[in-house]
Each structure stands twice: as C-alpha cells, then as structure tokens.
Amino acid sequence: MRNSNQPIFNRRNLFGATAAGLAASSLAACATSGSDDEVDDVTVGDDAENPFDVDGSAPLDVVIFDGGFGNEYAVAHQEIYNRAFPDAVITHLATQAIAETQQPRFAEGKPADVLDNSGAQQIPMDSLVSDGELAELTPLLDAPSYDDPEVTVRDTLREGVLTSGTFNGEVYALNYVFSAWTVWYDAKLFRDQGWTPPTTWEEMVALCPQIVEAGIAPWTYAGQHPVYLYDLLLILAGKHGGVDVLKNIDHLEPDAWRHESVVKAAEALAALYTEGYILEGTPGIDHIQSQTAFNERKAAFIPCGSWLPNEQASIAPADFEYMPMGVPPFDGSVQPGLISAGGDEPFVVPKNATNLSGAYEYLRIMLSKEGAQIFGDTVQAATIVKGVELDNPAAQATDALVSNPDDLFQPQFRFWYTKMNEEVRPALGSLLSGESTAAEFIDRMQTVADETAADDTIEKFHHED
C-alpha cells in the first residue's frame, strides 16, 4: 500500500488547504481583531419631538435582563417607540445570560443599541467604562423630557439616582429602578406579640431577648450571599459617623475602615452572632431559604432591598405585613436618616451602537411619565422618575424613608473595584458566622483597600462632592 511515491500534499491541494485554513482563521479571529470605528456623538437638536434626530426607519436592538422584573414593561416601551417611529423594526431579546450573549458582541464591535446590564451575569461595569465601550448619557439628560419640552429629562428624575451610574463625573448608566436597602419586619407579628418596632440599634438589641423567648430568632439573612449584609454594615456606620465615613471608604482613604463608627458597626454585627440572635443555620442558606424562613415567621428581622414585598407577594402568608424600618441607628448617630437608596438595574448604551440616537430616544421614552407608570403598574416597583404612583403600603412606607434627598447614599466601592467586592463579601460572611472578629474584619478590609489604592493598574473613581 505504501509504494506510492506521490506526496500527500501536491501543489494544488496544498494551496486549497491553505486557503481553507486562512478562511477559517479569519472567521475565528473576530475576537482578537476588528477596529474601532469612528463614532458620531449624539447631540441634542432643537426639535423637542425628536431631539436626537432619530432615523425613523433605522432598526433598534434592545436587550432586556429577564429577571425579577420580567420583560413585559420593555415590550410596552417598545410599543411607544413604534408609535413615534412606525417603520422602525425593533429586535427584542429578553435573557438572563447577559455576559454570555452580549460580551462577544462588544468584542466584535457590534453591540446592541440598548442593554439592560443586570443580574448575576452582568458584564462588569468598571471594565466597560475603563475600556471606553459606553456612550456618555449627558445628551439624554439635557434633552427636553418626553412630556414637557420646557423641562429637561434630568429634572424629571428623583434626587441622587444618577450617582450609581456616574463614573468620575460622567454618566454611563441609567439605573432605571429606584430601590432602597432596609431592614424588614412583619407588622402583624409585632402587633400580635406586643413588640414595638425598634427605632434604634440599642432598642433592637434590647428587644432581642423577648423575641428569643417567643421561640423566634431575631435575625436571618442570605448567608450564602453575604452581599445582603453590605448595606446593613455600611449604613449603620454611616449613620453613626456621617456620610463622609462612607465616602472615605469609597475613596480608599488611609485608615478609612479603622474609623470608630465602622469598628462600632462591625462589632455590633459580630455581637448578633455571639449573642445567638441569628437563626441557626443562616450562614448556610441562600436568599430564597432565608426569605422563606422570614415568611414562615422563624425570624423577626431580615435585611433586603425594597423589592422584597413584591417578590414575596404570592409566597408570603396572606396576613403577612411587610414593613421597612431602615437600618436602626446607634444612639447618638450623626446622620440617623441615612439610607442606601438610588438607581438599580443599569441600562447602558454601547458607544459602538448602530442606532445611537434611537437608543437615546428609547431611554427618553422609558423616562416619560407613561413609560415609568407602565413599569410601576406591571412590576409594582418605583422607577427613578418622580411621581410614579404605587398603591401598596410597603412601597409607601419605603417612600417615606427616602424622602430626604440629603440622606440618600449608595456605598460604591463594591461596584468600582472588583477586588474589593471579592473581599468584602466573604469578609462579611465570616464576621456574622463567628469565624472572624470585628478587628480581623477591619484589618482585612483595610488591607485590601490599601492594596487597591496602591495598584496603579486599577482605574480610580471618586464621588462628585
């Protein structure tokens, strides 16, 4: 069989094979090739009806995170867009796999026009921003609002809601949903037991023995996701020492974590464990299990976001009365009203979007009175637009907690520095499960903050004032 003297590759088929190989490599090389196309910036024109000069026939590509809020509201927003531009074909993708489906499109230079970059598979905002992949949203904020050409879009928004999407003074994300972090209790349980909802941390601690006596654990939380403790700790510290304590932490100031208010807050949380005020097994359960335990009245307090009552509406017992009480402040707190509240669910416009002006217009529609009310009606959650009416008592009580704009603050280091995020979550987990002391926790966080500050390869961010 092997007596043929013909080489395996003669000239002709070698040429063919090379051509096939080249074709394959050029197809596969898309991830590491491609050029930055020149992008035209969107400007605000004079036409209040169509300030971004949208091409009505251009298609629009919208990607929605299909999580707790679903995607019905987005379909309704797209109908409004089509009302103005009937010829525009809208591609609507609702998915939970944001990074999986959208990251390759960024890498190819062909991203969607509007992207709801949320959920567990969020593409890290800090890397999108430092890579220059996002369009700045000031033109949108300066444009006339959808409902009243005399009022700019910026003026239709609640106070402080742009902060979480602002990176070094430039707005790169529109965090559409307004939410607050608070401690929840069941008003019915408290009424039945004759307990007064505590207004300070000391009152809460004083109440705990009574709660234990009633056979109920005072606290539970999502132990497998210690991020649920992030705002509890920081706001407790911030209330005691004022918001600057938290800003210093965000700015990676030396010894920011060693501030007495932060130490006090860490000690207070650690004491919940050492006093036995946490539902047994809590560090080993996830958010669904902890919320179920709370619904079953096995625990009296749970820290969570303001979406909790809506999320639990069909699960909790019918007589369960979700009530927010904020984070109970220490006696002598400097800023007892402080609350972590602001925008969530970041909508971004990629810089290389094909229909950039259409994307801005779509966001303007989302921020219209009608657009925001659609969201409020479908998912019973507030948006960052002022004046959306919600009819459930928990939402109204939350609204009261966030009434003072000076007290709204979202601790940001977790979003600005991935490395800090990876440290604070396990550190909080250890702190509340008795594996580390408050002093060890503070040391650990100060160390990572110092390392982050010293690392020149990490882009630094800061609050505006």
Residues making contact with other proteins (CB under 8 A)? 4, 6, 8, 10, 13, 17, 20-21, 24-25, 27-29, 31-36, 99-100, 103, 106-109, 121, 123-124, 126-128, 130-133, 223-226, 279-286, 289, 293, 418-419, 422-423, 425-426, 429-430, 433, 435
Q: Is the dihedral of CA 38, 359, 114, 460 positive or negative?
A: positive
Q: Give CA angle at 213 (207, 216), nearest 5°.
A: 85
Among residues 153 and 424, whose Cβ is nearest to other proteins? 424
- For other proteins, give the closer residue by CB, 134 or 143: 134
Minimum CB distance to other proteins smaller for 45 or for 281:
281
Tracing tokens 């103005």 back to the chain, one arrives at 84
Q: Which is nearer to other proteins, 9 or 56 (CB)?
A: 9
The dihedrals phi and psi of 385, each to the nearest 5 degrees, come to -80, 135
Amino acid at 247: K
Q: What counts of helices (H) and strands (E) characterise the chain?
A: 18, 10
Cβ distance to other proteins smaller for residue 65 or 81: 65
Q: How far is the CB of 172 from other proteins (least distance, A)?
A: 13
Nearest to other proteins of 141, 270 (CB atom): 270
Closer CB to other proteins, 283 or 358, in the complex: 283
Shortest distance, position 250 Cβ to other proteins, whole Å: 19
Q: How far is the CB of 128 from other proteins (least distance, A)?
A: 6
The distance of closest approach from Cβ of residue 171 to other proteins in the complex, given in angstroms and rounded to an integer, is 19
Distance CA 171, CA 268 (A): 36
DSSP-derived letter for residue 197 is P
Q: How many CA atoms lie within 13 A of 436 on its CB side?
A: 16
**Residue 311: partners with Cβ closer than 8 Å, 6 or more residues away:** 68, 291
Q: How far is the CB of 457 from other proteins (least distance, A)?
A: 9
> Cβ distance 80 to 365 under 8 Å?
yes
Least distance to other proteins from the beta carbon of 437, Å? 15
CB-CB contact of 144 with 48 (8 Å): yes
Helix (H) or strand (E) holding 116: strand 114-116
Closest listed residue to residue 113, CA positions, set 62, 79, 158, 176? 62
Burial of 86 (0-12, 13-18, 19+ CB in 10 A): exposed
Task: Tell me how far, at minimum, the Cβ of 33 lies from other proteins, in Å.
Answer: 7
CB of 136 to other proteins, least distance (A): 16
Nearer to other proteins, 36 or 456 (CB): 36
Q: Which is nearer to other proteins, 103 or 295 (CB)?
A: 103
Dump the DSSP string for 359-427. Answer: HHHHHHHHTSHHHHHHHHHHH---BSBTT-----HHHHHHHHHT--GGGB----HHHH-HHHHHHHHHH
Shortest distance, position 278 Cβ to other proteins, whole Å: 10
Q: How many CA atoms lie within 13 A of 434 on its CB side?
A: 13
